[in-house]
Amino acid sequence: MNNPTVKLVQVTDCHLQNDPSQLYRNQDVESQLDQLLAHLKSTLPEETLLLLTGDIVHHGGPDAYRRLTAKLASLPFDTAWIPGNHDDADLMQACGERLNRKVIQVRGWCLILLDSTSEPDGRGSGALGQAELAFLTQALDQNSDRYCLIVLHHNPVSVESGWQDPIMLADADQFWRVLEPYSQVQGIICGHVHQEWRWQYKGVDVMSCPASSVQFKKRCDEMTLEDVPALQAPAYRLLELSECGEINSQVKRFNLAEDQNISSV
């Protein structure tokens, strides 16, 4: 049956190490991701598009990307990814054109995938930069007859945090200025913050997704790991894009011990 709804799943901030046995902030992030992907494979329809939204590896080298591309090849999902501040964009580009698509047209929608890792400040910040903003303008001009969802790593909206706001999207003002004339932009998804948010900002549905690795506690002045057990689990975000431009979305948190969702928000 031809279902007009576009189904997406967002997985973000995996922070894979080059050596899979090495922990990230005391967590076995490799095995967490393996379990999460196996769960997605067994629960989501094959037509789901998987989006990996940056910090895929944590200062990792080619081995981490090689392992991940092998895992992705075993899934039924079409997949695309973007880099985060911890990624190596050149190594990602070397993994093939399909994973690195920047525009995906699907039914009445256009997904625009952006690289926000320009102008790094060494603390985690990143910007789109003039070339990526020009690309965004061109992509929006060329897809004026489609609803658009923009995908980027860095949050373009404040998360009210003393340590996270200084490393949000550095050129967020220019980004929002570019979007202003384009009423077809229905949603924006990002990673980076390792926590869940959903805002209506300047008329756009903006969503962040918790990580598949570890979560950060909201509204803190310095980096603080999440301490609420129900919010510590690896997570992902489901999205359904309707043919009339609506976005239905929810975050799922994955219980590693029981191999099931423990909550949805």
User: Interface residues with Fe ion (CB under 5 A)?
Assistant: 13, 55
Q: Which is nearer to Fe ion, 139 or 214 (CB)?
A: 214
Quick one: 55 or 196, whose CB is closer to Fe ion?
55
Whose structure tokens read 């969503």? Answer: 207
Q: Which residue minimizes CB distance to Fe ion?
A: 55
Taking the C-alpha atoms of residue 152 and residue 204, their distance in angstroms, rounded to an integer, is 14
Rounded-to-integer distance, Cα 168 and Cα 156, Å = 6
Closer to Fe ion by CB, 31 or 138: give it: 31
Residue 194 or 252: the one with the smaller Cβ distance to Fe ion is 194
Minimum distance of Fe ion from residue 86's CB (angstroms)? 6
Q: What is the dihedral of CA 228, 232, 236, 237, to 10 degrees?
A: 10
* Signed CA dihedral, 246, 106, 135, 236: sign only: positive
DSSP one-letter string for 117-136: -BS--SSS-BB-HHHHHHHH
CA distances from 208 to 96, 147, 160, 168, 177 (A): 26, 19, 14, 12, 20
Closest separation in Å from C-beta 250 to Fe ion: 21
> Min. distance of Cβ 28 from Fe ion in angstroms?
17
6 in Cβ contact with 105 (< 8 Å): no
Q: How far is the CB of 13 from Fe ion (least distance, A)?
A: 4
CB of 197 to Fe ion, least distance (A): 14
- By beta-carbon proximity to Fe ion, the closer residue of 57 and 111 is 57
